Amino acid sequence: QVQLVQSGGGLVQPGGSLRLSCAASGSIFSILTMNWYRQVPGKQRELVATISSGSTTIYADSVKGRFTISRDNAKNTMYLQMNSLKPEDTAVYYCKAYIFTSGGTRGSDYWGQGTQVTVSS
């Protein structure tokens, strides 16, 4: 059984910083692509950032230059460093990872539980 556990959300003032973590645990053989999404009530879930197994990164235009996605493969953990936060960054943030379990023949997507990020004005 694999699960992703998120941490690091909270309340921050505009211009502030926050770091989110997403730790995978369980019978993991390998983790390929990892992603951060965010969602606001009434809006479509938005892909914020992607990091490949080779640490190639892709960012949404709305966060480019402010957010940094990274991963620590030894810890099965990825991070989202969020700087220069804006009120429009307020959302529930979700991590997703494509994971091969030990002994499995193909990978599957796994989702974290989500964490609230609130940027006050």
Q: For residue 59, what are its two tokens?
A: 């960012």
Interior/surface letters 36-55, b for 16+ CB within 10 angstroms, e for the rest: bbbeeeeeeeeebbbbeeee
44-74 pLDDT tens trace: 999 999 999 999 999 999 999 999 999 999 9
Determine the average pLDDT of the residues in 6-18: 97
Please state, rounded to an integer, the average pLDDT across all residues of the chain.
96
Identity of the amino acid at 81:
Q
How far from 58 is each of 15, 49, 54, 98, CA to CA, in Å? 22, 6, 12, 16
How far is residue 12's CA from residue 31's CA, in Å, rounded to a whole number?
31
85-105 pLDDT tens trace: 999 999 999 999 999 999 888
C-alpha closest to that of 17 among 66, 116, 84: 84
Q: Which residues, 6+ apart, have CB-to-CB distance to 95 below 8 Å?
A: 4, 6, 20, 22, 34, 35, 36, 37, 78, 80, 111, 112
